[in-house]
Amino acid sequence: MNSSFLQTPIDFLKGVGPNRADLLRKELGIQTYQDLLNLFPNRYLDRTKYYKIAELQRNSSDVQIVGKIIGLKEIQQKRGKRLVAKFKDSTGEMELVWFRGQKWIRENLKLNTDYVIFGKVNWFNNTFSMPHPDLELLVEHKQNIRSAMQPIYPSTEKLTNKGLTNRVLSKIMQQLFLETKGKFSETLSEELLSKFKMLSKSDALLNIHFPKSQALLSKAEFRLKFEELFFIQLQLILKNLIHKSKIKGFNFERVGPLFNTFYNSHLPFELTNAQKRVIKEIRYDLGSNAQMNRLLQGDVGSGKTIVALMSMLIGVDNGFQTCLMAPTEILSVQHYNGLLEYCNKLNISIKLLTGSTKTSKRKEIHESLENGDLNILIGTHALLEDKVKFKNLGLAIIDEQHRFGVAQRSKLWRKNITPPHILVMTATPIPRTLAMSVYGDLDISIIDELPAGRKPVKTVHRYDNNRLKVFRFIRDEIAKGRQIYIVYPLIQESEKMDYKDLMDGYASIEREFPKPEYQISIVHGKMKSSDKDFEMQRFIKGETQIMVATTVIEVGVDVPNASVMIIESAERFGLSQLHQLRGRVGRGAEQSYCILMTSHKLSNDSKIRLETMVHSNDGFEIAEVDLKLRGPGDIMGTQQSGVLNLRIANIVKDKDILAEARYMAKKILSSDPGLLAIKNKNILNTYKQMAKYKNIWNYIS
Ligand code: ADP
Ligand code: MG
């Protein structure tokens, strides 16, 4: 069916008319034939099975029986009348009951004629009865297009009240299939159809609305899900290809002396294989003439910083400036301090710019950026300010991406006429499948290996009334020379209660761990950043043994000697946050521990989160559970990506189909990037429609 016909307004469909059209538009957003066609049922009543009366169970719903009505009587009750029919098949008898609409039934019912009844059965007065059965003459039932599984469409109260019931909607849908003769143009290639033994477009649509069997319904679902995901992937991959061919990037031709000197003489440890692989991927991108747009995923502690440094060295080796942006002041300071040492050894300049950088210092930085003296700039989003101008920014790295948005990424882009290479680093592992659809426009590198010798953090869940034991444990660990984090939830910096909890907690810890034997740092969002930094530094230097903090320490802090992470009210944290916090320990050679403290009142989801933390240290596994609990809506970036607008596929449940669809889209484009081959013409035609109609389902039909 050609697509312009399907753009016909719904008013023109027989049986719709202006009133119903209006309702459909307002209540379900259905404007055109196309929209109606894409109103997929929420579920189906299985009418493939026929029961015998002798087989009935008490309280079975969705029961369908063939039989005859052999008698009809009216029974007077306290409140009105009820109409009762005696219904019979070869195995027994039962009753059909109406409390309303009796006149119509009496006048239209045919006695001793085969009917198909459908509904819920009750056991009442020692007989089975079906109130208000769905009733259809067997002869009509046989001819009916919806004779197998009955679709139940999404509806609203208003629709039902105004008579646009499910039954009417099905009728309208049948009319649509009659008018279109059920012929819809194929959107996929013969190759794809036969490879996955998929139904044709027409058969898939017919069977999604009026499945002839459960098996055909499954096939229809697969076909439509595949198609939906395939075209999204196709679009993302094409965008990426076009980007690469159009957006020229700086070519970092050589891996020069800085990189090599660092690698040969200053690397403090052997790189993991994953780090080596990732650096190779980045090096390849940087020298490929196209602008790099890469996402680096690696669990907390997997060693992303060194990858960032080595990438920046390649930039500097090629005469460019580079920058590294982190989401918090503390983290920027830590990056700066960590990298300063290496930069001094290599004799290159590095500076730190944050919100609290003094004006005089700031001026100095601005100058050295503009005249090209400065090689590496580290900082917070202060880097994004317009005043910050680079002479030649060649590579921008963003750490812990979940705190930054896409808008900020593009702001970095515009710091040059030729956009710099961009590397986004995140410790929030997104399951690969989701990453593929969310970040289809980014290339992805994954560090899936922790440095050797790391012992997995032992995680336990303890209730508040075990606190004394926990204190004893802390004392023992401190006696061994270790340091401890105690973290309180502070979801909103403004929440008074959380602040009070933190202060009460601090007071009780001070009582339990008195000075001068014990020294305690405290860091929270209400402090001035210089104070925060002071406290943080005391802990980093080992002057304090306990760090009481809110989640400001969540991101990136590195204190290898800290071996215990205690999370208070752990039930209030999300899974990825818990995992991030736990990642603060287990960085040294010592056995580390994470203790999740909660009250006894736990929701089911909280229990799942806590159990997941206790049994798994694998960020990707944890991310999968998180995704199942929360759905993709809360995961970063998904809002912009359109994965939420999926009509039939589900990004979590259908990840296997997504993987197939992506693989095929890639494969097809790699041999035929312009989709010009005859065999791909359906795909090309469909793809062209994408430009015309915004909604994906407008173009895939
Ligand atoms: P993240 O990926 O969380 O940013 P970091 O880059 O902060 O991780 O690295 C965590 C710790 O592991 C740091 O102390 C770092 O020096 C160390 N590290 C990184 N790579 C290695 C390695 N290959 N071998 C040993 N230690 C490493
Ligand atoms: Mg980090």
- φ, ψ of residue 99 in degrees (nearest 5): -105, -20
Q: Ligand 1 test: best mutation among 269, 296, 325, 342, most atoms within 8 Å of CB? A: 269
**Residue 78 pLDDT:** 79
- Give the range among 104-113, 146-155, 604-613 with minimum mean pLDDT: 146-155
Domains annotated for the chain, with CATH where assigned, are 1-48+147-180 (1.10.150), 61-145 (2.40.50.140), 257-286+303-426 (3.40.50.300), 458-616 (3.40.50.300)
DSSP state of 248: B
Query: In this model, does residue 582 exceed pLDDT 60?
Result: yes
pLDDT digits (tens, 9 = 90+) for 244-260: 776 778 889 888 899 99
CA triple 208-214-217, angle to 5 deg:
20
Query: In this model, does residue 672 exceed pLDDT 70?
Result: yes
Which residues have a Cβ under 8 Å from the Cβ of 688 and sit 6 or more positions away?
A: none
Question: Residue 131, exposed/middle/buried by CB under 10 A (0-12, 13-18, 19+)?
Answer: middle
How does residue 642 score in pLDDT terms, banded at 50, 70 and 90? very low
Instruction: Compute the distance from residue 301 Cα to the ligand 2 centre, in Å.
Output: 7
Q: Ligand 1 test: best mutation among 558, 579, 582, most atoms within 8 Å of CB? A: 558
**Residue 556 pLDDT:** 55
Over range 619-648, report the average pLDDT: 67
Single out the residue of 426, 693, 460, 462 nearest to residue 576, CA to CA. 426
**Amino acid found at 59:** N
Q: Is the CB of 298 under 6 A from ligand 1?
A: yes
Measured in Å, how far apart are the chain's first and last C-alpha atoms?
Answer: 8
In the numeric block, which tokens belong to residue 647? 């009509």
**Residue 440 pLDDT:** 61
DSSP string, 569-601: TGGGS-HHHHHHHHTTSS-SSS--EEEEEE-S-
Proportion of the chain above pLDDT 90, given as a percent: 51
**Residue 595 pLDDT:** 98
Paired residues of 88 in beta bridges: 68, 93
CA 334 to chain centre: 30
Over range 1-29, report the average pLDDT: 87
Helix axes 681-692, 214-246, angle to 10 degrees: 70
Instruction: Compute the distance from residue 556 Cα to the ligand 2 centre, in Å.
Output: 4
The single residue listed with the structure tokens 């780090």 is 275
In the numeric block, which tokens belong to residue 471? 């204190």
How does residue 638 score in pLDDT terms, banded at 50, 70 and 90? very low
Paired residues of 325 in beta bridges: 379, 398
Contact 439, 642 (CB under 8 A): no
Q: 125 in the Ramachandran plot: left (φ > 0), alpha (ψ -120 to 50) or beta?
A: left
- Give the range among 102-116, 419-433, 625-639, 654-668 with minimum mean pLDDT: 625-639
**Residue 558 pLDDT:** 78
More confident residue, 405 or 171: 171
Return d(Cα 243, Cα 697) in angstroms, integer.
25
Query: In this model, does residue 517 exceed pLDDT 60?
Result: yes
pLDDT digits (tens, 9 = 90+) for 61-91: 779 999 999 999 988 887 788 899 999 999 9
Over range 628-655, report the average pLDDT: 64
In the numeric block, which tokens belong to residue 89? 């098949």
Given the DSSP bridges, would you call strands 92-98 and 127-131 parallel, antiparallel or unpaired? Answer: parallel
CA triple 119-122-123, angle to 5 deg:
150
Which of 338-347, 406-415, 619-628, 682-691 has the highest mean predicted lDDT (pLDDT)? 338-347
**Residue 643 pLDDT:** 47
**Residue 335 pLDDT:** 93
**Residue 639 pLDDT:** 44
Q: Is the CB of 114 under 6 A from ligand 1?
A: no
Q: Is the CB of 269 under 6 A from ligand 1?
A: yes
Strand, helix or coil for residue 598: strand
Q: Whose CA is nearest to atom 22 of ligand 1?
A: 451
Q: Is the CB of 427 under 6 A from ligand 1?
A: yes
pLDDT digits (tens, 9 = 90+) for 178-196: 988 878 889 999 999 999 9
Return d(Cα 370, Cα 385) in angstroms, integer.
14
